[in-house]
Amino acid sequence: MELFEAIEQRYSYRGEFTAEKIGRADLERVVRAGIRAPSGCNAQTTSFVIVDDPERIAKMAEIVGKPVVATAAAVIVCVADHRPVYHELAFGVEDCSAAVENMLLAITALGYASVWLDGVLRREGRAASVAALLHIPQNLEVRVILPVGIPANPGAPRERKPFEERAWFNRFGG
């Protein structure tokens, strides 16, 4: 799939996935797309844990409480390092976000679906529980998880506001 087609076709899938597995070669391709994302000062502060073990996915689904995780063939866990890399500034959130978008486009291009989950992780200690399950060091943060699979009931991208309502040349508001 061509890049701009993947951008147009990408959507957040929150439904159930089929039971079909995803090969590790495809999962590696997706994560390599995340690794290629830009990062502040090229510090490369985002790490990834690819979970394809059904028992770990089931435990993660219990922690997160989202049905989309329970039926995922794999879950990509994005881990942010918030250490300062430019004077006193850290770019962990930005670096992770760039990586996630690259991976979402790669997931779409390969014919799979996913949804960016992070808000749910920031409540009720869920990020820390996922981190403990995956043996992630305490100085790092589980920031985003991407459940990945073949959608049982494929959807479509939601409508976006027109260009003229969100972008202008030379000054805000046109």
pLDDT tens-place string over residues 78-106: 999 999 999 999 999 999 999 999 999 99
Instruction: Please report how the helices 54-64 and 126-133 are oriented relative to each other, as an axis angle in degrees rounded to 10.
Output: 160
pTM strictly above 0.85: yes
- Which of 174 and 151 is assigned the larger pLDDT? 151
- Across the chain, mean pLDDT equals 95
pLDDT of residue 134: 98
User: In the structure, what pLDDT confidence band is assigned to residue 1 with cuts at 50, 70 and 90?
Assistant: confident
* Confidence class for position 174, pLDDT limits 50, 70, 90: confident
CATH of domain 3-153: 3.40.109.10
Q: In what order do the strands lie in the sheet with 46-51?
A: 46-51, 74-80, 141-149, 113-114
| H helices present in the chain, as ranges | 3-9, 24-35, 54-64, 67-70, 92-109, 126-133, 163-166
